[in-house]
């Protein structure tokens, strides 16, 4: 007789932990030979506060490059992880972390991006971080490029717009694989690669004087170079460290149709395809036809080398990772074009939103996990998820029940997805320790289990304080997701 059997718990080796990025935590922006990065000159312009196509004000940025004093302050200081890493990792260990996601600042290793020799002091810093993690048996998960690159490459090549950046990047990846490869099993190439369609923060390419179509042309070409670099880094990793695994990383924001009208459903599908396209290339090894059609219809011509398709096909990633914060809604216009997509987002009347307008949708995570698993049939990893909130320190404590509720609901839905049959490797919530926000460049949008005493101007003792959610997550990990 057929007996239905399905997993009802998180697997034994499930990787629980947290995720960060170098430019949002490290500080020490000019210490020990580190070069200036694109992240440090991203302007603190008002319009960076909304997630949109013009999330980065290119004109202000150009001034910032010319005048290094314009570098915004909290980013320069981060949370000074550079000097607090031992204390911070100890706190992660106290919560029971199995994995810690962080990124390497390319400009710490190669200050100008393509220097002849790596900067030993930079390499040493990450040796020490890995030593600490090893001490507590915390598995590292390293992002090779998280929203930054050496600024010198923007000046020299206009970032990823130029194919020569691929060689600079693969020289950097070879260097870090050789140095850390034996100690690091899990790697990611580009953080939220799909946000490169928004511009500079991910591509390092300036396009402020261009028309919309010229911008799209430049951004998709830059992204093609990143896709090739990602495939080449995957190849290197497999050759140099056969035991290690490479993953891709997508900002996944499912787009629901605004109504069941097929024109809306189809518009939502198109919006989703433009999002999933990147993972299609990285996990399946080729450009999907719907993108070739999109490029043709928008006059975008991707310059490819004869071997590019072969490089992509031969080097797909081993696992698929993504960030998940929200979902959005799409409606078709009269002319068939869509209103509302990942960046511009429509309102969903069934969902509540965070103080920053991010629509909170735990069930959407189960839907996303099922769809990603169906589409790729590769192990999945949720490498970012969390709630940005204004925490209040009351008598030395932070009672962040809202954060616990958010995370609990999302973890419950991951468990449902595992029961549905999804192969999920792990969960690194975003910002286990308060850090500088990407979209606001400020400190006050906090995600952490650990509070950091610092304000938006960079004043504060940097003291670390455990929030209520710290003790909650500790129990979650200890019970392997049973005690939520």
Nearer to ligand BGP, 125 or 430 (CB): 430
Nearest to 48 by CA among 436, 483, 324, 397: 436
Please identify, among the stretches 252-260, 329-337, 434-442, 474-482, the one whose residues bind ligand BGP according to the rule CB under 6 A: 434-442
Among 323, 327, 428, 454, binds ligand BGP (CB under 6 A): 323
Distances (CA, A) of 48 to 147, 385, 422, 437, 461: 14, 21, 36, 11, 27
% helix, strand, coil for the chain, step of 5: 45, 15, 40
How far is Cα 362 from Cα 352, in angstroms, rounded to an integer? 11
Please identify, among the stretches 154-162, 176-184, 286-294, 431-439, the one whose residues bind ligand BGP according to the rule CB under 6 A: 431-439
User: Catalytic site residue 214?
Assistant: no
Residue 251 is a binding residue for ligand BGP (CB under 6 A): yes
279-315 burial code (b ≥16 CB/10 A, e <16)? bbbbbbbebeeebeebbeeeebebeeeeebeebbeeb
Residue 483 sits at φ, ψ, to 5 deg, of -95, 90
Binding to ligand BGP in span 23-82, by CB under 6 A: 24
Nearer to ligand BGP, 195 or 315 (CB): 195
- Least Å distance, CB 19 to ligand BGP, is 8
Among 26, 114, 115, 192, binds ligand BGP (CB under 6 A): 192
Residue 388 is a binding residue for ligand BGP (CB under 6 A): yes
Binding to ligand BGP in span 266-285, by CB under 6 A: none
Residue 437 is a binding residue for ligand BGP (CB under 6 A): yes
Residue count, binding to ligand BGP (CB under 6 A)? 14
Longest dimension (CA), the chain: 74
How far is Cα 159 from Cα 318, in angstroms, rounded to an integer? 27
Catalytic residue, candidates 40, 297, 384, 442: 384
Residue 291 is a binding residue for ligand BGP (CB under 6 A): no
> Binding mask 338-377 vs ligand BGP (x if CB under 6 A, - otherwise)?
----------------------------------------
| Number of separate helices (H) and strands (E) present in the chain | 16, 15
Residue 445 is a binding residue for ligand BGP (CB under 6 A): yes
Residues 6+ apart with CB under 8 A from 391: 398, 400, 434, 446, 451, 467
Q: Which residues are catalytic?
A: 384
Q: Which residues bind ligand BGP (CB under 6 A)?
A: 21, 24, 147, 191-192, 251, 323, 384, 388, 430, 437-439, 445
């Amino acid at each position: 007789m057929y007996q239905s059997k399905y997993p009802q718990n998180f697997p034994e080796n499930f990787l629980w932990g947290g995720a960060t990025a170098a430019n949002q935590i490290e500080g020490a922006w000019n210490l020990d030979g580190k070069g200036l990065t694109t992240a440090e000159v991203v302007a603190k312009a008002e319009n960076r506060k909304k997630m949109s196509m013009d999330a980065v004000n290119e004109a202000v940025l150009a001034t910032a490059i010319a005048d290094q004093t314009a570098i915004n302050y909290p980013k320069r200081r981060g949370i000074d992880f550079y000097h607090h890493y031992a204390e911070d990792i100890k706190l992660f260990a106290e919560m029971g972390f199995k994995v810690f996601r962080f990124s390497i600042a390319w400009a710490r290793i190669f200050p100008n991006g393509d220097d002849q020799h790596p900067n030993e002091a930079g390499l040493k810093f990450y040796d020490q971080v890995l030593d600490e993690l090893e001490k507590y048996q915390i598995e590292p998960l390293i992002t090779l490029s998280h929203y930054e690159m050496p600024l010198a490459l923007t000046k020299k090549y206009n970032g990823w717009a130029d194919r020569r950046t691929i060689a600079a990047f693969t020289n950097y990846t070879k260097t870090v694989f050789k140095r850390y490869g034996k100690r690091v099993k899990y790697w990611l190439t580009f953080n939220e690669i799909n946000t490169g369609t928004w511009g500079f923060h991910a591509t390092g390419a300036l396009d402020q004087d261009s028309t919309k179509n010229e911008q799209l042309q430049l951004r998709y070409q830059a992204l093609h170079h990143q896709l090739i670099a990602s495939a080449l880094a995957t190849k290197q990793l497999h050759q140099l460290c056969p035991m290690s695994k490479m993953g891709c990383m997508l900002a996944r924001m499912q787009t629901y149709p605004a109504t069941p009208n097929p024109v809306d459903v189809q518009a939502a599908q198109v919006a989703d395809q433009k999002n999933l396209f990147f993972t299609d290339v990285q996990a399946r090894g080729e450009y999907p036809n719907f993108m070739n059609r999109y490029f043709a219809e928008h006059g975008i011509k991707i310059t490819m080398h004869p071997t590019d398709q072969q490089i992509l096909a031969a080097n797909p990633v081993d696992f698929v990772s993504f960030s998940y914060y929200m979902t959005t809604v799409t409606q078709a216009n009269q002319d068939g074009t869509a209103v509302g997509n990942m960046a511009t987002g429509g309102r969903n009347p069934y969902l509540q939103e965070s103080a920053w307008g991010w629509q909170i949708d735990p069930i959407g995570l189960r839907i996303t996990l099922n769809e990603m698993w169906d589409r790729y049939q590769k192990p999945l990893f949720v490498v970012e998820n969390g709630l940005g909130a204004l925490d209040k320190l009351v008598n030395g404590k932070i009672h962040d029940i809202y954060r616990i509720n958010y995370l609990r609901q999302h973890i419950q839905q991951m468990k449902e997805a595992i029961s549905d049959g999804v192969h999920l490797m792990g969960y690194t919530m975003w910002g286990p320790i308060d850090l500088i926000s990407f979209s606001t460049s400020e400190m006050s949008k906090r995600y952490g289990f650990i509070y950091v005493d610092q304000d938006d101007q960079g004043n504060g003792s940097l003291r670390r304080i455990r929030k209520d959610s710290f003790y909650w997550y500790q129990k979650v990990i200890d019970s392997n997701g049973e005690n939520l």
